[in-house]
Amino acid sequence: MTDEDWKYPQQPYRKNGWLQVDDNPPLKSPHKIYYEEYGNPDGEPVMFLHGGPGGTCTPNFSRFFDPERYRIILFDQRGCGKSVPNVAKDGAQAGLANNETSYLVDDIAKLRNHLEIKSKMHVFGGSWGSILAQAYAIKYPETVQTLILRGIWQATKQDLDYMYQGNAETYHKGPYNVTVPGSYLFYPEEWKEYVEIIPQNRRKDMIKAYKEIFDMVPRTPEQQETKRKALVAWSKWEEVISNIVPNTKNVGKYGSDEFATSFAQIENHYFTNNMFMENHYLIKNVERIKDIPIHIVHGRFDQVCPMYQADILVDALRNVGTEPASYVRTTAGHSALELENAMVLTNIMDNLPKMDHSKLPGTKVTGADATQSY
């Protein structure tokens, strides 16, 4: 997307702040999530959930929505962006403490209450944000008007292996052995860089091998450089494969030490803990969201979240007797900022049935229960 491609011009945020969502015991630095509001303060509320885990929001994300119609809320999830403590600035111990799916779900509810949203709201999430949006809707369905989901992710071992494992274990024997499925098939130069960070004898489980480096406390400059390179390699790999035509010479913030330190460690923290969710939790609980209109946008050439993952969700909805409100397969890759994805998402938001939010009853939720099994 270029500036001219967007339907709506970039506007400054109307309001911003930090909301304390957790005391973060036994640490002394409580979690405070950073948020921004754009658009019409009296408009239909839409909650934007960024990807990752460990990504951040940027002002561009507000441009999917008509600022005259919508009250647009962006926020950085725990440990990343402008939220504090930040994994990169304050350390993994602080940033990853109490950083699990159940906490993030309840953070949405707490932010909703803090902003005094009395009606239902549209919930818009892509990639990891699509998981978080569904998990929130499963727990708090009475607060959700519409789900708009892009780049559906199931985050099973199969899905993680496709993206992060591929042919890594046998790469040294034959990098062009393509009998194992994976994103690597489409990005061979970048895959080489990602794989060769890890010693040959530790490539059986790439996510685990990267975690060992991320968890290392460097004692020498050489160890510090090894860790830095690993963090950046992980971050760059995801950014490159998010675009059908990657800009390999400029991966932006994904190549910066600060962003990569936060992004890579938060993602790895979730991946090595099964996303802090019961296996197939979203699919098993899809009946709880069957009455919510669900719009799905998925790039046909997505190599972060291959399209079969969206089909799994559609099949699950049909199995409980409902259809998605729309399911659009674009000729694009993963990123929400690829032109066709962005245009379709904007069009969906422009054409949602208008919500008479001023007359809806209050639906305050506590947002305090972080003990639910996910």
265 in the same domain as 320 = no
Please tell me the predicted confidence (pLDDT) of residue 365: 54
In a domain, 212, yes or no: yes
265 in the same domain as 164 = yes
Residues 6+ apart with CB under 8 A from 351: none
In which residue ranges of the chain is pLDDT below 70? Answer: 24-27, 357-374
189 in the same domain as 253 = yes
Supply 110's token pair.
């707490």
Domain range enclosing 30: 3-155+278-359
In a domain, 364, yes or no: no
- Indicate the burial class of 121 (C-beta count within 10 angstroms; 0-12, 13-18, 19 or more): buried
162 in the same domain as 270 = yes
Q: Please state whether the peptide bond connecting residue 26 to the residue before it is cis, i.e. omega within 30 degrees of 0.
A: yes
Please tell me the predicted confidence (pLDDT) of residue 370: 41
Please tell me the predicted confidence (pLDDT) of residue 369: 47
Number of domains in the chain: 2
Name the amino acid, one letter, at 195.
V
128 in the same domain as 198 = no
Last residue of a domain, one of 275, 310, 330: 275
317-350 pLDDT, tens digit each: 999 999 999 999 999 999 999 999 999 999 999 9
What residues act catalytically?
127, 302, 334
57-90 pLDDT, tens digit each: 999 999 999 999 999 999 999 999 999 999 999 9
The total number of residues written for the chain in this structure: 374
204 in the same domain as 117 = no
In a domain, 370, yes or no: no
CATH code of residue 247? 3.40.50.1820
Q: For the whole model, what pTM was predicted?
A: 0.94
Please tell me the predicted confidence (pLDDT) of residue 323: 97
What values do phi and psi take at 68, rounded to 5? -80, -25
188 in the same domain as 143 = no
242 in the same domain as 112 = no
